[in-house]
Structure 1
Amino acid sequence: MIAAEWLKLRSIRSSHLLLGLSLAAIPLAVAVAWSAIGMYDSATPAMRRTARIAELEEVVLIVPQLCMGIMGVLAITSEYATGLIRTSLALVPRRWPVLTAKSAVVGGLGLVVGPVVVFATYAVTAAMLDGRFPVAPLAERWPTLVASSVTVAVFALLGLGLGAVLRSAAGAIAVLVGLVYVIPIVVGNLPEPWSERLGSVMIGALPREITGADLTSSVYGALLPPVVAGVVLALYAVAPVAAGLLLLRHRDA
């Protein structure tokens, strides 16, 4: 089943495009770093002493997250659009192995793409910026880098689950974008303490909460202990897939 689902995913032309766009986050971060270097070199000595730059691997993380989320959506909705889902379910009457195999393929690909983008971005930009901007060493940053990498796989499974529930690519992508990008903006504008309480469960806050990193400068909340934050991140992936599996077993294709 897994080999078959991998073949299906490879046969969707959009998968290659989305994979390429995910990896494009690396040169995007390099371009931002190059621009920052230019501004630093032209700044006055006083401005250089206080110059800071955000962690670029976190800035561009939105690119592979969204791309892999969309890939997850299309992995299931493309079969509904073409009618291939009927063939798949006819060959596997129990149904649950179909979505389970898709989850393994999409989630596994996310577990590869995430670390490649995050760690490559960190390594390249840290080398470029060293000596100009303060850059935390890998020994200090790696727990957050790992947690951030995992969110790419979470997005892939979130997209797959939404696609299985809604059966519509446009609808699932709209919900995906709303859940992870629109709602955090709304939450950020709520009065306290609700802004921090709800902000703490947004995906953007979870990697640093999982590692216990400093969140004093974050736009999100910082209320969850590491274990709880890890559980919440897992639920973002597991809950939509579980809902999609339940619906797949109890409704017609």
Structure 2
Amino acid sequence: MNMLRSEWLKIRSVRSTGLLLVLSLGAILLGVAIARTAAGMYDDTTPAKRVTASIAELEEVLIIVPQLCMGILGVLAMTSEYATGMIRTSLTVVPKRWPVLAAKAAVVGALGLLTGNVTIFSTYFLVRQTIGDRFSGTYLTPFLDRLPTLAATGLTVCVFALLGLGLGALTRSTAGAVAVLVGLAYVIPMIVGKLPSPWKDWLGSMMISALPREMSGAPFKSSVYGTSLSPAAAVAVLAAYALVPMLAGTWHLRHRDT
């Protein structure tokens, strides 16, 4: 408990934490603004064009904002201590080392989970209220039918936070860890989308953005990702995104000098 309180104090006392949380929750306002604009355009168009008009599930698109913000928070939770030399104090107090990373994971993961769920559900309900029955009833799907996908999407924010923390422990460099984080999350999926079949579908199915709908078994309206994973396999892949870098970071922390 003392380790958890210590890590919570460190994270909440850093100015960047508040900024990243505000930016994450800003996705809610962005979603409402886009929804209002789309609704206005829909109302102003002709009945013939309304029949074919469509809109993406904005809450799933805009989750990219808290994902990246919480991933950066995870990176900073580790690399900032190396930058300031605070890590030496932490490891002197806790010689076993791994509890330091475990405590950071608990705090960062909890923040990611809370932020992800607040963002995804708030955006969903506010956008749903704004869009109404427009766009062929895209937002008229019963909430309980959407709940598994929304919950799985919110969970990805927690995974990003832990992924960032693990990368921070491995690289000990803020710029390097953020670069790898962005590459894994956004650059590689674009490359995979250009591959020929069956590689495009197989690898695309393992991209983080594809996993929530695969986990919930929800259909894809349209996607650049693959759809070949079963719900159980999708859960395993999502867990690996968090666990593999965390385990590697723990090994690195225990076997390398600070």
Aligned counterparts of 1:122 and 1:215: Cα–Cα separation in 2: 17
Shift of 1:215: 2.2
1:225 aligns with 2:227: no
- Match of 2:134, SS? coil
Corresponding letter in the other structure for 2:38:
A
The 1:122–1:216 alpha-carbon spacing in structure 2 relative to 1, beyond 3 Å, is closer
Q: Structure 2 unaligned runs (5+)?
A: none
- For 2:151, the equivalent position in structure 1 comes to 146
Q: Equivalent of 2:205, from 192, 200, 203?
A: 200
TM-score by length of 2: 0.97
Q: For 1:215-252, what per-residue CA distance to the aligned partner results, in whole angstroms no more than 9, with x for missing partners?
A: 25111000100001000000000110110000100010
Please state how far the C-alpha of 1:101 moved relative to its aligned partner. Answer: 0.1
Between stretches 166-175 and 50-59, larger displacement belongs to 50-59
Q: Deviations over 1:70-122 (max 9, x none)?
A: 00000000000000000000000011100000000000111100110000000
- Identify which of 153, 156, 159 aligns with 2:164: 159
- Give, in whole Å, the separation in 2 of the partners of 1:245 and 1:92: 14
**Partner Cα distance (1:216, 1:35) in 2:** 22
What's the RMSD between the two structures over aligned residues?
0.7
- Spell out, residue by residue over 1:16-70, the C-alpha distance to the aligned partner (whole angstroms, 9 max, x if none): 1000000000000011001101110110011112221100101110000000000
Q: Over residues 120-155 of structure 1, what are the superposed CA-to-partner deviations in whole Å (9 max), with x where a residue is unaligned?
A: 000000011012222122111010000000000000
Percent identity reads 63
AA matched with 1:212:
G
Which stretches of structure 1, 4 residues or more, deviate above 6 A after TM superposition? none
Mean Cα displacement is larger for which, 63-72 or 124-133?
Answer: 124-133
State the partner residue of 2:175.
170
* SS of structure 1 residue aligned to 2:195: coil
Describe the SS at the equivalent of 1:231. Answer: helix
Partner of 2:87: 85
Which residue matches 2:8?
Answer: 6
Q: CA deviation at 1:177?
A: 0.1
* Secondary structure of residue in 2 paired with 1:24: helix
Give 5+ residue unaligned stretches, structure 1.
none
Residue 137 in structure 1 maps to residue 139 in structure 2: no
Q: What is the match of residue 52 of structure 2?
A: 50
TM-score, with length taken from structure 1: 0.99
Partners of 2:243 and 2:151 lie apart in 1 by 19
- 2:133, 2:209 → 1: CA distance? 29
Distance 2:133 2:151 in 1: 25
Aligned residues: 253
